């Protein structure tokens, strides 16, 4: 007899850009990615603006009939049919919004950057532990087959011990007059919404540094890094270019994570000029090609390889029955389903301790770069009636 499929029932908090992308992935047929043990159902969507936004969201993603719509986040977390809430608000809001969900005793998948401060991350994790619920930072890159494969190659030892990882995620977003393409109130540069390159993009550069240099450290030898950072600030006071050195002195390893809103990772989209990520050991290196959040290919270049290497393409499968959709976020959703099915509270792909270590690194970088965010979004005191929870703009 075929094993039963476990179906996870999702509630979606917010109706912006990434919520649409994620939900369209949830609605694809898992069989397109050869997944048969878990499946997903969107049972409710909430918008802090109005119920109408939630209705039009379901229309945009062509959701099947039956999902409920709410005009407040409070109603969503009270819905008994929701197993897990996907928090897709700006990162300024994540602490208050995710805490609202946890306090309601529900499981959470929360978009990156997980919070604005490390203290907020620690409080969320403490609450998840207290409520005995699942909690995961939505760094989808970790669950993509390319990442899994690259980690396996590193662990195979073919490069020797990896000593250095260099990773970048940058977009050229400058205009000729020196301003950026985002208006100053846009969440990319608005400090009220925790804007800046690091929390939005640099987290992916750090993801590559951490998933190789920290994640693969043996459990008994886990070492949090020392962080040295420099930032250039935009006129709004948010960081527009950031470089971080992430040092693990005991392991003698070093990561260099960069991000910028001024220059792109690569002027050549195919990535032939310059890999987004380099993972280097004494016997060779891996180049990861494409954008750091969803790379498209990798190559392993060995010292004794005679100059020959193979480019391994890793395409994202598409669902022809859903307009050819497939973005690559479904693998992290599958991870949530498997964890909940198996009674796990955290994902082995990105354990709680690692989310804290990354957030501490970003905390330190922001401090060194002199970027300051307002009290409303940095407080680690939960307030269910915070404007961040009630749709105050
Ligand atoms: N994983 C990825 O690849 C990826 C990609 C892009 C963004 N993200 C992350 O996802 C989060 C949301 O990004 P996004 O691009 O979806 O942003 P967005 O398009 O601006 O949407 C954010 C949504 O949050 C809700 N919201 C609540 N209070 C808000 C406020 N004061 N201002 C603006 N929006 C508010 C709104 O939905 P309602 O009005 O319906 O409540 C809004 O539509 C960010 O943390 C970002 O870092 C992740």
Question: Residue 307 pLDDT more than 80?
Answer: yes
Mean pLDDT of 211-216: 98
Architecture, CATH, for domain 145-315: 2-Layer Sandwich (3.30)
> Residue 268: which pLDDT band, with cuts at 50, 70 and 90?
confident
Residue 5: alpha-carbon gap to chain centroid = 26
Best probe residue, ligand 1, of 26, 90, 376, 393 (max atoms within 8 Å of C-beta)? 90
For position 263, what pLDDT does the model report? 95
Kindly give the distance from the C-alpha atom of residue 121 to the centroid of ligand 1, in angstroms, as a whole number.
18
pLDDT digits (tens, 9 = 90+) for 340-351: 999 999 999 999
Asked if pLDDT for residue 1 goes beyond 70, the answer is no
Confidence of residue 267 (pLDDT cuts 50, 70, 90): confident
**What mean pLDDT is predicted for residues 248-265?**
97
Question: Which pLDDT score, from 0 to 100, does residue 271 have?
Answer: 63
Query: Phi first, then psi: what are they for 358, rounded to 5°?
Result: -70, -40
CA 177 / ligand 1 centre spacing (Å): 28
Q: Is 55 in the pocket of ligand 1 (CB under 6 A)?
A: no
pLDDT for 253 equals: 98
- Nearest-atom number in ligand 1 for the CA of 294 is 3
Ligand 1: residue whose CA is nearest its atom 8 = 18
363-392: pLDDT as tens digits? 999 999 999 999 999 999 999 999 999 997
Q: In the chain, where are the structural domains located?
A: 1-140+320-393, 145-315
**What's the confidence (pLDDT) of residue 270?**
67
Instruction: Work out the average pLDDT over 70-76.
Output: 98
- Residue 281: Cβ within 10 Å count: 18
- CA neighbours closer than 13 Å in the CB half-sphere of residue 162: 30
What pLDDT does residue 274 have? 82
Would you list the DSSP string of 76-117? HHT-TT-SEEEE-S-HHHHHHHHHHHHHTT-EEEEESS--SS
User: Cα(89) to centroid of ligand 1, in Å?
Assistant: 4
pLDDT at residue 392, as a whole number: 79
**Does the beta carbon of 89 sit less than 6 angstroms from any atom of ligand 1?**
yes
Range of lowest pLDDT (19-28, 153-162, 181-190, 300-309): 300-309
Ligand 1 closest atom vs CA 47: 40
pLDDT in tens, 111-136: 999 999 999 999 999 999 999 999 99
CB hemisphere CA count around 8 (13 angstroms):
32
CA distance 102 to 250: 36
- Tell me the CA–centroid distance for residue 301 and ligand 1, in Å: 39
- 1-140+320-393 domain in CATH 3.40.50.720? yes
């Amino acid at each position: 007899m075929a094993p039963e499929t476990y179906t996870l029932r999702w509630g979606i908090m917010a109706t912006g850009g990434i919520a649409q992308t994620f939900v369209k992935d949830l609605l694809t047929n898992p069989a397109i990615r050869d997944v048969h043990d878990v499946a997903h159902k969107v049972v409710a969507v909430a918008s802090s603006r109005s119920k109408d936004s939630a209705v039009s969201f379901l229309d945009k993603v062509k959701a099947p009939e039956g999902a409920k719509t709410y005009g407040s986040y409070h109603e969503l977390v009270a819905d008994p049919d929701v197993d897990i809430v996907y928090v897709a608000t700006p990162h300024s809001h994540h602490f208050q919004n995710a805490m609202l969900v946890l306090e309601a005793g529900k499981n959470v998948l929360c978009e990156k950057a997980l919070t604005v401060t490390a203290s907020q991350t620690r409080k969320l994790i403490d609450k998840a532990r207290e409520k005995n619920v699942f909690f995961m930072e939505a760094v989808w890159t970790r669950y993509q087959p390319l990442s899994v494969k690259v980690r396996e190659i590193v662990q195979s030892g073919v490069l020797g011990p990896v000593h250095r990882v260099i990773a970048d995620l940058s977009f050229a977003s400058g205009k000729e007059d020196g301003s950026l393409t985002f208006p100053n109130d846009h969440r990319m540069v608005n400090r009220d919404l925790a804007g800046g390159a690091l929390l939005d993009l640099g987290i992916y550069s750090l993801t590559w540094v951490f998933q190789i240099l920290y994640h693969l450290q043996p459990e008994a030898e886990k070492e949090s890094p020392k962080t040295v950072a420099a930032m250039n600030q935009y006129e709004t006071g948010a960081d527009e270019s950031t470089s971080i050195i992430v040092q693990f002195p005991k392991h003698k390893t070093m990561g260099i994570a960069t991000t910028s809103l001024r220059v792109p990772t690569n002027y050549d989209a195919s990535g032939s000029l310059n890999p987004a990520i380099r993972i280097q050991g004494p016997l060779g290196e891996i180049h990861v090609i494409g954008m750091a959040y969803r790379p498209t290919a990798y190559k392993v270049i060995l010292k004794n390889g005679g100059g020959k290497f193979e480019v391994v393409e890793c395409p994202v499968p598409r669902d022809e029955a859903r307009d050819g959709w497939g973005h690559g976020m479904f693998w992290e959703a599958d991870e949530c389903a498997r964890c909940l099915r198996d009674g796990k509270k955290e994902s082995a792909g990105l354990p709680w301790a690692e989310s804290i270590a990354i957030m501490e690194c970003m905390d330190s970088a922001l401090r060194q770069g002199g970027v300051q965010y307002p009290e409303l979004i940095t407080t680690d005191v939960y307030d269910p009636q915070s404007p961040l929870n009630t749709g105050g703009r």
